Structure 1
């Protein structure tokens, strides 16, 4: 499905070139797999972009595990079309990876990736002259963003973050493997092997030091506004409520409470019209007058 969401009538500012907004899981997969460095998404990473008075804060996109900055076929052009300066980081790439994994992000330790996000945001601020940015983080990217905001100075330069499928308490999706490893007493060797290929994957497990440290730190930076978008159809953050956490500066949205027939899963929410509208209205209330609601073409994906 392809659509372009225009800025509503009444906004007098000159409109940017309108790009196709592709609401499609296959398009997301193709974008992530076929992209080459520097992994720029459509409408994003224009380092000459000047923020407008209407949207003074650039939006930085933070991908998930096995992704890269190019894998935003819907959110990046949509934000661009609505007048935002959009930038997309690629983090967590192991430099020795080759073949199909060359340029694949989200593999390195989250503690390392959060510093890459810190440096990228600093570059965005320097290029645009903005004082702060907003973040759109997804999956593992929500943990990278959370650590950046709490431990690497992000709270000073980030106004708000919209999280897709956050993983604050980790995911139990790998419990059969983890439980078997502990039962056999070989957990240390299993985790050591995983670290050479995807330490970021280990860092998403509830037993990881990363999750324990995040929980001990309180998850949220009090200066930042958080919006968490969860879906009951998530088969990768298990249970999906591991991304739910209440706080005075946090809003939690369950997709099916907004649109009961929409069963978009962990990946599909990044290319979903309902989610996209909720994101736009979070960054700039009133942008979308009516939130669209329809069944996802790729439920539980």
Structure 2
């Protein structure tokens, strides 16, 4: 099992041969996500990402593919990680998946709603495009929330493990989320449980698939969740109110490293949303992507309210 090296190091300079030597701004704030949500135009790309002429460096030979979560897209979800990774010298790519073919206008920028199997197929096609453009055999995946399940579907059911070296997962949902449990029981008593979730299919089939006990979650669990030749890093937070319990994202295996944010930084109460913009989480993800290079892991209270 790889172990994170939590010691001081100097950040690597930008090493992309065809990228600007000037570092991109890296906002550690949810406001950048909110702003990008308003201005995103499909297909959308965050700063530093989707440079299809990027040549991977010897230091970072594998491109990093960013996989957003429910209702996100390739641009608004990665306002922190995309420029950060580009500044570190990675070739970075972000897709928007899970948009329905009939979506237009604002809806076309709200991804992650189509069935997870369909979204996993979109990820497969995108990774193939990235590998062809960069002339690389394997990529690393950095996924957040529902994106962890989309990536898992690609790895477990579509042969993606042959094309992926590492899977870094922010707030993963391996066992599903029980967030709807208080609603499920009375609906079952009234005989409306199945009807409600069936009604979501035309607009958000994935919403029901995230639930503990859904067909997709059961199939993923039966598959073993992890592909044996991929290394997984799971970063979870105890204050996650979307993934309940937060331990849904913790699964022990020889090829997995599980990190509870508060074990590293007890005062950091970042929640499900703010893990995508948090400096501690970002440093942990960078360390996981490049475990041979020690780096400083900062520790401070989250800028967002606790649990957000």
TM-score normalised to the size of structure 2? 0.92
Find the partner of 2:123 among 99, 117, 128: 117
Give the CA RMSD over aligned residues.
1.8
Q: Does 1:42 align with 2:47?
A: yes
Please state whether the residue corresponding to 1:102 is helix, strand or coil. Answer: helix
Please state whether the residue corresponding to 2:85 is helix, strand or coil. Answer: helix
CA distance 1:96–1:273, shift in 2 (3 Å): same
Q: Does 1:135 align with 2:138?
A: no
Mapped to 1, the partners of 2:16 and 2:35 lie a distance apart of 34
Shift of 1:25: 1.1
Mapped to 1, the partners of 2:68 and 2:16 lie a distance apart of 30
Check the 8 A contact 1:60/1:121 in 2, yes or no: yes
**Mean alpha-carbon deviation: is it higher for 233-242 or for 27-36?**
27-36
Find the partner of 2:74 among 57, 69, 74: 69
Please state whether the residue corresponding to 1:21 is helix, strand or coil. Answer: coil
Mapped to 1, the partners of 2:222 and 2:236 lie a distance apart of 22
Aligned to 2:11: 7
Check the 8 A contact 1:138/1:165 in 2, yes or no: yes
Q: Does 1:96 align with 2:114?
A: no
Find the partner of 1:31 among 31, 36, 46: 36
Equivalent positions of 1:119-268 (< 5 A) are 119-268=125-274
Shift of 1:189: 1.1
Unaligned runs of 5+ in 1: none
CA distance 1:280–1:190, shift in 2 (3 Å): same
Mapped to 1, the partners of 2:102 and 2:210 lie a distance apart of 22
Check the 8 A contact 2:10/2:295 in 1, yes or no: no
> How many pairs were matched up?
296
Find the partner of 1:56 among 34, 48, 61: 61
Check the 8 A contact 1:229/1:252 in 2, yes or no: yes
TM-score normalised to the size of structure 1? 0.94
Unaligned runs of 5+ in 2: 1-8
